[in-house]
Amino acid sequence: MKDTYPEIESKMKKTIDALSYELSTIRAGRANASVLDKVNVEYYGTATPLNQIASISVPEPRVLLVSPWDPSVLKAAEKAILQSDVGITPINDGKSLRLTFPPLTEERRRDLAKTVRKYAEEAKIAVRNVRRDAMDKYKAMKKKSEITEDDLKIVEKDVQELVDKYVKETDKVAAAKEKEILEV
């Protein structure tokens, strides 16, 4: 039975990784190239991630510089950024796009902190769903008499310890992002 725990833990770890990725796309007042990860540009008839058709750099703490490798895609990249939920209007200088991140207002910081907590809660729910699925599997094994009642109790305790560990990890990741957002 212990050999199936890595599978459970792996699913929980993936949940934390997904949360970390999701939180990295939230802008916290300073320039971060990952805010453009979800931006897709129409490139030769295909929706292509911006980071695959352009170099994205951070020349200054509050500025992102997007330099497309193919100059003909500049207008499409500008349009894609405008239509995305980044919330910043790019400045087109003919060769590249500059995105200047304004300082966040206190109200916007609180909204972003709420969003972080919402993502963290979704991650906790996902971790608990992994527990539920695992326990359903073990209860089915108990029903078929593949494991004993005592084994089921041990599994329940072990799986709950994993859940507690990953819920704490979720809280830690969310608290770090919230701190980053709320610091002026």
More confident position, 5 or 133: 133
On whether the CB atoms of residues 151 and 1 are closer than 8 A, the answer is yes
- Per-residue pLDDT at 74: 87
Both tokens of 178, joined, read 């919230």
The CATH class of 33-100 is: alpha beta
Report how far residue 99's alpha carbon sits from residue 56's, in angstroms, rounded to the nearest whole number: 10
- Per-residue pLDDT at 22: 85
Q: Which of 17-31, 65-79, 84-98 has the lowest mean pLDDT?
A: 17-31
Mean pLDDT along residues 86-93: 82
More confident position, 27 or 9: 9
pLDDT for residue 161 is more than 60: yes
More confident position, 129 or 3: 129
Boundaries of every domain in the chain: 2-24+105-182, 33-100
Mean pLDDT along residues 75-90: 83
Domains 2-24+105-182 and 33-100 share a fold: no
- Per-residue pLDDT at 2: 52
Mean pLDDT along residues 127-132: 93
Look over the chain and give the mean of its residue pLDDT values, rounded to a whole number: 86
Q: Which residues, at least 6 apart from 31, have a Cβ–Cβ distance to it below 8 Å?
A: 58, 60, 61, 62, 63, 64, 99, 101
Q: Does domain 2-24+105-182 have CATH number 1.10.132.20?
A: yes
- Per-residue pLDDT at 95: 87
pLDDT for residue 43 is more than 90: no
pLDDT for residue 132 is more than 90: yes
Report how far residue 114's alpha carbon sits from residue 96's, in angstroms, rounded to the nearest whole number: 34
Mean pLDDT along residues 139-158: 89
pLDDT for residue 57 is more than 60: yes
pLDDT for residue 3 is more than 70: no
pLDDT for residue 31 is more than 90: no
Nearest to 8 by CA among 166, 179, 124, 175: 166
